[in-house]
Structure 1
Amino acid sequence: MKATARAHPIQGLVKYHGMRDEELRFPYHDSISLCTAPSNTTTTAAFDPDRDEDHYVVDGEVVDGHGADRIRSVVDEVRERAGFDYRVRLESENSFPTNIGLGSSSSGFAAAALACVEAAGLDLSLPEVSTIARRGSSSAARAVTGGFSDLHAGMNDEDCRSERLDAPADFADDVRIVVGEVPAYKETEAAHEEAADSHMFDARLAHVQDQLVEMRDAVREGDFHRVFETAEHDSLSLAATTMTGPAGWVYWQPDTLEIFETVRDLREDDDVPVYFSTDTGATVYVNTTAEHADEVEAAVADCGVDTEVWEVGGPARVVDDESDALF
C-alpha cells in the first residue's frame, strides 16, 4: 500500500483570504490560480497495518506539532474513506525554496493527498482528491487540478472543490513566470485567522466577486493582459487587507518594491507585456510571455535577487517510476 505523487505549487491570481471553517478550510470566497512548473513537490506515502504510529518527513526533517496535525488532517480523511486505520509513513521533497511565498503548502498537500489516495486504493477524480487536499491547505485543492484552476467556496465537499478552467493551449504555453526570490519568512495561517478583523475585509469580499468574474472570462479568452492585470490588482487588494488586520502584517521587503517598480518601468517605458503578483510573502511573481522572458529575467535579476523562469504546470499526478519514490 505505497504510492508516489507529484504536484506543482500555485501562483494565486485571485486569492482567497480567511476561512469560514478553519478545520475543514472552507474559504469565504472562490479563488483562482495557475500552477507553476517545473517547480514541484514529490511525496511518497505507504500505509502499513504493522506500523504503530504515523511518520512524516518534509525535506529531510521530521514534522511534528502543528505541522503534523495539518498532514494528519489529510491522512485521516483518506483513512476514513478507505475504511481502515493503518498508520502511514509519508515523506516529501520540494524542488524549490519553501516558506518564502512560492506556494509550497499547495503542492505539498496536493501531492500528499494524491499519494495517500493512490496508496489506499481509492478511485477518486481529481476534483474529489482536491477536497481531501483542501483539509491541509485551501490552495492545495487548486494544485490538485492544475493549470488554471478555480476553487469554489462552500460548506461541504460537494460545493467546495477545485475545477480546471479551460484556457486556450497557445495562451497557457506562452506564459512565463519570472520568480524574483525574496527570502523573508512569512506566516500565512495567522493572517488567514485574523482576516475578518480587518476593516478592509468586507470591502474585499464585495470587490473580489468582480475580480473572479473578470478572471474566469479572461482565462477562457486567453487574454494575457486582462488575466495578469487583474492578478496584479488582486495582489494589492490582498495586501491592503492583511496590512490592516490586528497584527498589521507587512510581507513586502525593499527588494519586493524594487521589483514592482522595475515591472512598471518595463511596461510603461518599454511596452513589455509584464505584470507583478504576490501571494502572502515577499517573493514576486513577474508574469510575461515567452518572447520577453529573458529580458524580464535580466531586469528582475538586476534588483539583486535570485531568479527562476517557470511555466504553467499541469495537475497532480501519480509517479509510476519506482526510482522516483522517496523510500
Structure 2
Amino acid sequence: MTLKATARAHPIQGLVKYHGMRDEELRLPYHDSISVCTAPSNTTTTVEFLPDAEEDTYIIDGEPVEGRGAERIEHVLDYVREFAGFDHAVRFESENSFPSNVGFGSSSSGFAALAMAASEAAGLGLDRPTISTIARRGSSSAARAVTGAYSDLSAGLNDEDCRSHRRDTGIGEDGFDPEKDLRIVTALVPAYKETEEAHREAEQSHMFDARLSHVHDQLAEMRDALQEGDFHRIFGTAEHDSLSLTAATMTGPSGWVYWKPETIAVFNAVRELRETGVPVYFSTDTGASVYVNTTTNYVDVVEEAVAETGVETEVWEVGGPAQVLEETESLF
C-alpha cells in the first residue's frame, strides 16, 4: 500500500465572512460563514507518509516552509496521523496557480488540498464534510474549499457541528444561474497581509459586538438569495459584508488598514458601472485585492473598466469541491 496522494482545491471568495476565532487551536469561528469557490485558481498538493524517514519536509511553490506556516501544516498533519493511528514522517509539496497572501484565499485552497491529500494518503476513507473538519484546523475558510462551489461552514464547539456543507442554489427570475453564470473579475493589488492577526484581534474591536448582532441577518439573507438565484441580493449582501468586516478589522488594537488606493479606485469603478445599469458588485476578504462580481453577459465591459484603474485582472468562475488527482499529476 502506498501512503501517497495528490489533491487539488480551489480558493474561496467569502460572501458572508467569519471574523475572530472562539478557539484558536481548533479554529472554531464565532458564527457561520458562506463562500463561493473560484476557478481556475487552485492549489495542488502531494502528501506522502514515510515510515522510515526521521522528519517532515514542507515545500510550497519551491520554497521550504518554516515558522508559523510550518506549524499550521504540522497541526493538520498531526491530526491526520492521530486519526490514522501512526506517526510516520511526511513529505509535503504544494503549488499555487495564483498569487498568495494578497487576499485571494490561498490559505483556503492550501489547507483544503492538504487535508484532502493527507486523508487519502492515510487511507481514512472520509467524506468531504468530515475532511472539512481536518482542513478547518489549518484555516476555517479551508473547510468551505473542501466542499466547494457555494458552501456554508456551521459554527459549533466540536467537529460534528463545525463542518462545511455545500449549498444548493436556485435559478433567478431573470434566468441567472449562480453556478454557471457568475463571473469574477479579479483585481490584483499585491500587498502582503496577515489574516491570523486580524482574527486574533477581532473581538477587541468595539465594532465586533455590532457585527455579531447583525451577521445572522446577513447569513439568512444570503441563504435565501442563493436559493432564489438572485444575483443582486447575493452579491449586494457580499459587498455590504465586506464593508462590515473591514470596519471591525480597522478598529482593532493594531488598526489594520488593508485597502490601498488601487482598491478604492476599483470600488469607484464598480459603483460607476452600477449607476449605468451594469449588474456588478465588489467584495474583499482580508487584503487589498478585490473580487468584482458580475454575469457572463457583462464580464467584458466590467473587466475593461476594472483594468482601466491600472490593476492586473483575470476572469474566474465558480469552482467545485476539492478532488483527489491521478498518480500522474503528483508533484514528486
Q: Tell me the TM-score normalized by structure 2.
A: 0.97
Note the C-alpha offset of 1:60.
0.5
Deviation string for 1:179-236 (max 9, x for gaps)?
0000011110000001000000000001101000000111111111100000000000
Note the C-alpha offset of 1:118.
0.4
Deviation string for 1:158-186 (max 9, x for gaps)?
00000000013733100000000000111
Q: How does 1:1-327 map to 2 (within 5 A)?
A: 1-168=3-170, 170-268=177-275, 270-320=276-326, 322-327=327-332
Residue 241 of structure 1 aligns to a residue whose secondary structure is helix
Q: Give the Cα separation in 2 of the matches to 1:296 and 1:206.
A: 34
Note the C-alpha offset of 1:307.
0.3
Count matched residues: 325
| Shift >2 Å, 4+ stretches | 168-171
Q: Give the Cα separation in 1 of the matches to 2:325 and 2:301.
A: 35
One-letter code of the match for 1:325? S
Note the C-alpha offset of 1:64.
1.4
Q: Give the Cα separation in 2 of the matches to 1:7 and 1:191.
A: 24
Q: Give the Cα separation in 1 of the matches to 2:53 and 2:121.
A: 15
Deviation string for 1:232-265 (max 9, x for gaps)?
0000000100001000000000000000000000
One-letter code of the match for 1:259? V
Q: Give the Cα separation in 1 of the matches to 2:299 and 2:329.
A: 30
Residue 151 of structure 2 aligns to a residue whose secondary structure is strand
Note the C-alpha offset of 1:33.
0.3
Where structure 2 has 5 or more consecutive residues not aligned to the other structure, the ranges are 172-176
Residue 297 of structure 2 aligns to a residue whose secondary structure is helix
Q: Give the Cα separation in 2 of the matches to 1:307 and 1:97.
A: 12
Q: Give the Cα separation in 2 of the matches to 1:324 and 1:98.
A: 22
Deviation string for 1:54-95 (max 9, x for gaps)?
111001110111111100111011111111111110100000
Residue 291 of structure 1 aligns to a residue whose secondary structure is coil
One-letter code of the match for 2:5? A
Q: Give the Cα separation in 1 of the matches to 2:183 and 2:20.
A: 29
* Aligned-residue CA RMSD (Å): 0.7
